[in-house]
Structure 1
Amino acid sequence: MKKDSSRRSFLRKATLGSAALTSAPLVFASSYKEKLWLNRSYEPSLFLANDQINLALIGCGIQGIHDTQTALQVDGVKLVAVCDLYTGRLDRGKELWGDALFTTRDYRELLNRKDIDAVIIATPDHWHKKIVIDALKAGKHVYCEKPMVQKYEEGQDIIKAQKDSGKLCQIGSQGMSSLGNEKAKQLYAEGAIGDIVMLDFYNDRYSAEGAWQYPIPPDASAETVDFDTFLGNAPKVPYDNKRFFRWRNYRDYGTGVAGDLFVHAFSTLNYVISSNGPDRALATGGLRYWKDGRDVPDVSITLYDYPKTETHAAFNAAFRINFIAGSGGGGGFKLVGTEGEMEIGQNSVTLKRSKLGMVPGGYSMIAYTETTQQKIREEYAAKNLEPRSSSLTTGETKWEAPDDYKGGHYDHFYNFFQAIRGKGKIIEDPTFGLRAAGAALLANDSYYSKQPVNWDPDAMKLV
């Protein structure tokens, strides 16, 4: 009833074209096309040295550096230490953030320091559970890169450790706190697309770098890389530069395209529609082009079933990744409903509402005589299946962030640090993180087992 009321409210506002609308577009004719602006305000603040949040980075690779550079844009945050298993990255840390930076190959040295308040964990996936739990037990707030876990069973241990520690843990799906997600959630709650029937998500890439063939430094060796520690609980193998610097290509350390990319889409989807996730997955795909020793597919297509809940109808989701897309690349995330669709990005949301054709046209009428056609038209006219009001709410509105918007990645860290200061709440806690990662991992289970897999999104476990 609440959802139906929201939908009626949205339609009424859209039809009236009131200037006081919250999300519904202004309507001046039978259809519309317009552009509106999103905005974000941040709390002004001035921090003294002893008010700063001291931050440490564990895993100074590609994403770790991007995370840290973004985190340091937030006022009142200072980086004091970096850990990595490759000495060249420790050198890079000092290049970026100063010679005074404390560096080490042993993350436990950072956790033992009393001057560190929070840590960013941007290690390979198979290390997430142990380091997150160790950090929480050491009294540190944690920002952990997605996916939160490499294996389903690891998630409950992290949830428990976070609750027991009393510290905060934010999972790092960068777009979660974005203006785009925020507006899409509001629009969906107001009934802008009616009942959801499908999600269409895709990510196409057409480069070696996009397919995780990252450059390997010329000084990489068993002396400059602590390979044994990198392996952790993974199977023991001889030193291998590719496994260390391109770990995403291997099941022993990563989670494939599902854990790297699907998890972003699940984070946004579950947030926007207030869902706990899907209950079934069926995956296919293969290794089509990047046959460089990797044991994960470079093309993946997975279909998910979402059950009916209080916040959404039963619907289907299609997730597609192609690392050898001859089109040149691109991506999209679109929610399709019974009354409209939303294309969602971190910086924008485009809402399209169309008129549902309920009256037969020339295609089917051709089979009847002219006299019969006239009778059919009269019968449909009497039913009034396409009232004028159905045309008044059709068209397109695009909400877009201004050029100076700091971005969803910044907002996610701002949210994290504000929560540490007691001025907000974490938007992606470990329970949310497990539901997003768990849904993504279903794709891997289905792909390798060559059969559908079932999941309990509430209990967060395989069925």
Structure 2
Amino acid sequence: MKQNNSRRYFLKKAALGSAAVTSAPFILSASKNENILMQRAYETNVFTSNDQINLALIGTGIQGIFDTQAALTVSGIKLVAACDLYTARLERAKELWGDDIFTTRDYREILNRKDIDAVIIATPDHWHKKIVIDALQAGKHVYCEKPMVQQWEEGQAIISAQKASGKICQVGSQGMSSLGNEKAKQLYKEGAIGDIVMLDFYNDRYSAEGAWQYPIPPDASKENVDFDSFLGQAPKVPFEPKRFFRWRNYKDYGTGVAGDLFVHAFSTLNHVIDSHGPNRAMATGGLRYWKDGRDVPDVSITLYDYPKTETHSAFNAAFRINFIAGSGGGSGFKLVGTEGEMEIGQNSVSLKRSKLSLVPSGYSLISFPEAMQEKIRGGYAEQKLETRASALETGTTKWQAPKDYKGGHHDHFYNFFTAIRENGKVIQDPTFGLRAAGAALLANDSYYKKEPVNWDPTKMKMK
């Protein structure tokens, strides 16, 4: 491996005190459980009305609103239009952003407007491919909610459309540009955990809302919901409000827990370790509690194999989702290496290093006579496997975002809009988006096939 993932290398860099080494200035005193403040500097440009980026929202549901609110925290952005297939959501858009915004139930009217520079696409997953391609071909910059595609086969068409258009396309896994991800990537590259051995990711939920049982408005009807347009290329079924307002529960429109939640973890994992993704997945699970008509599992466990590359060793990843967690809920994302582990969040990174025991204890020596035990201890002592320095290199260090941090969601949109203004690069382009979505969707393929599945992370297709 080209990457030097060793504690010795990491500590040497930390001890140098170079201004360029910002990962762990107090790493040698980690045993004192240091808390270090992370920093983020933003440009303070002031934009006139002529310089602003005009934004439109396509899909004014829960995530679409949160996306737009985050986007508008970036200077020089104005929302000018919103689209949704449910009339009351267009009313809500005007409540939130003013009566002067243009609203429609036909996204094509958004794309035809010359005064719109960029669009947020926060529709159900089965509409992502078509609307993203249509928007790029219409000359709009695109921010598409994760997962980028409903089926991995759709990804190459988006990649090609983006390249042909020359427009910016950012995939919206909102934690990607966060301080936590940035610090974790830096720590990993500097060898803070040694060689990665496994990833442990889980997300437990214990509420109807967390299990996607979203409220259905009492006025929902064929008159104010364009259900036929919602279905698109999905199988034709009679009007059913649950399918429209709780679309994540159906594989015809969504991608289950894999596309909704796994994809966030894959985005962070692949970013932090500079990986193209796994090459094998094996999933199990079932519908244990929320038997409300949904056809996707509410408990899912998937094991992934990552092959050895120039940036990481071969390792395994465990992804677990439970929508009926009697513990009350919680989540975690932990990278475990040969010399330490990192727990990563958008606002913090916790690095723990432990002392590897190489000398036998009384547990294994008990079967030998006392004289033999002394000889064995003496032999290990001569090897000097455990030094005082190795004991001092243990402990926990936590990097924390400041209280005034604007958050990973803001940072992801800041990255998007900066790329538009400077014709630059985004942190999560369509190729990255397909690698994250493709890896996540392997869980669905394995679950429904009831067998392991293989993936080519470089060519981004099933083997």
Which of the five TM-score ranges fits, normalised by the shorter chain?
A: over 0.9
Q: 2: CA distance between counterparts of 1:19 and 1:434?
A: 37
Q: 2: CA distance between counterparts of 1:25 and 1:369?
A: 48
Task: Summarize deviations over 1:209-242 as a string: whole Å, max 9, x none.
Answer: 0000000111100101000000000000000000
Aligned to 1:151: 151
Q: 2: CA distance between counterparts of 1:373 and 1:274?
A: 47
**CA apart distance, 1:11:** 2.3
RMSD: 1.4
Aligned to 1:179: 179
**CA apart distance, 1:58:** 0.2
| 2:328 equivalent to 1:328 | yes
Q: Higher mean Cα deviation, 19-28 or 182-191?
A: 19-28
Q: 2: CA distance between counterparts of 1:415 and 1:27?
A: 30
**CA apart distance, 1:32:** 3.2
Q: Higher mean Cα deviation, 4-13 or 256-265?
A: 4-13
Q: 1: CA distance between counterparts of 2:292 and 2:250?
A: 11
Aligned to 1:128: 128
DSSP-derived class of the 2:207 partner: coil
Distance 1:30 1:74, change over 3 A: closer
Q: 2: CA distance between counterparts of 1:401 and 1:217?
A: 38
**CA apart distance, 1:446:** 0.3
Distance 1:28 1:145, change over 3 A: closer
**CA apart distance, 1:33:** 1.1
DSSP-derived class of the 2:82 partner: strand
1:44 partner letter: T
**CA apart distance, 1:390:** 1.2
2:346 partner letter: Q
Q: 2: CA distance between counterparts of 1:394 and 1:75?
A: 43
Task: Summarize deviations over 1:332-388 as a string: whole Å, max 9, x none.
Answer: 000000000000000000000000000000111111111000000000001111122
Q: 2: CA distance between counterparts of 1:49 and 1:19?
A: 43
Contact map agreement 1:27 1:392 (CA 8 A) in 2: no
1:292 partner letter: D
Note the 1:215-226 alignment, pairs <5 A.
215-226=215-226
Task: Summarize deviations over 1:237-268 as a string: whole Å, max 9, x none.
Answer: 00000000000000000000000000000000
Aligned to 2:395: 395
Distance 1:9 1:116, change over 3 A: same
Task: Summarize deviations over 1:180-220 as a string: whole Å, max 9, x none.
Answer: 00000000000000000000000000000000000011110
Q: 2: CA distance between counterparts of 1:299 and 1:5?
A: 35
Aligned to 2:96: 96
Count the aligned residue pairs: 462
Aligned to 1:53: 53
Task: Summarize deviations over 1:93-129 as a string: whole Å, max 9, x none.
Answer: 0000011110000000010000000000000000000
DSSP-derived class of the 1:218 partner: coil
Contact map agreement 1:206 1:325 (CA 8 A) in 2: yes
1:134 partner letter: D
Aligned to 2:318: 318
Q: 2: CA distance between counterparts of 1:238 and 1:431?
A: 37
Task: Summarize deviations over 1:39-93 as a string: whole Å, max 9, x none.
Answer: 1010011111110100000000000000001101100000000000000000000
DSSP-derived class of the 2:75 partner: coil
1:61 partner letter: G
Q: 2: CA distance between counterparts of 1:28 and 1:140?
A: 50
Q: 2: CA distance between counterparts of 1:371 and 1:240?
A: 80
Task: Summarize deviations over 1:124-169 as a string: whole Å, max 9, x none.
Answer: 0000000000000000000000000000110000000000000010
1:422 partner letter: E
Contact map agreement 2:11 2:28 (CA 8 A) in 1: no
Q: 1: CA distance between counterparts of 2:31 and 2:344?
A: 21
Contact map agreement 2:171 2:429 (CA 8 A) in 1: yes
Distance 1:60 1:10, change over 3 A: same
DSSP-derived class of the 1:95 partner: helix
Q: 1: CA distance between counterparts of 2:429 and 2:337?
A: 28
| 2:209 equivalent to 1:209 | yes
Distance 1:310 1:104, change over 3 A: same
Contact map agreement 2:85 2:105 (CA 8 A) in 1: yes
Q: 2: CA distance between counterparts of 1:127 and 1:278?
A: 26
Note the 1:430-441 alignment, pairs <5 A.
430-441=430-441
| 2:256 equivalent to 1:256 | yes
Q: 1: CA distance between counterparts of 2:192 and 2:133?
A: 41
2:282 partner letter: L
Aligned to 1:72: 72
Note the 1:403-414 alignment, pairs <5 A.
403-414=403-414
Q: 1: CA distance between counterparts of 2:339 and 2:383?
A: 20
**CA apart distance, 1:9:** 2.8
Gaps of at least 5 residues in structure 2 are none
**Percent identical across equivalent pairs?**
78
Q: Higher mean Cα deviation, 343-352 or 422-431?
A: 422-431
Q: 2: CA distance between counterparts of 1:426 and 1:30?
A: 34
Contact map agreement 1:18 1:26 (CA 8 A) in 2: no
Contact map agreement 1:198 1:337 (CA 8 A) in 2: yes
Aligned to 1:109: 109
Note the 1:443-458 alignment, pairs <5 A.
443-458=443-458
DSSP-derived class of the 2:33 partner: strand
Q: 2: CA distance between counterparts of 1:428 and 1:18?
A: 32
Q: Higher mean Cα deviation, 22-31 or 384-393?
A: 22-31
1:421 partner letter: R
Task: Summarize deviations over 1:393-434 as a string: whole Å, max 9, x none.
Answer: 111100000111000000000000000001742000000000
**CA apart distance, 1:324:** 0.2
Q: 2: CA distance between counterparts of 1:199 and 1:152?
A: 23
1:437 partner letter: A
Contact map agreement 1:445 1:453 (CA 8 A) in 2: yes
Normalising by structure 1, what TM-score? 0.98
Distance 1:226 1:50, change over 3 A: same
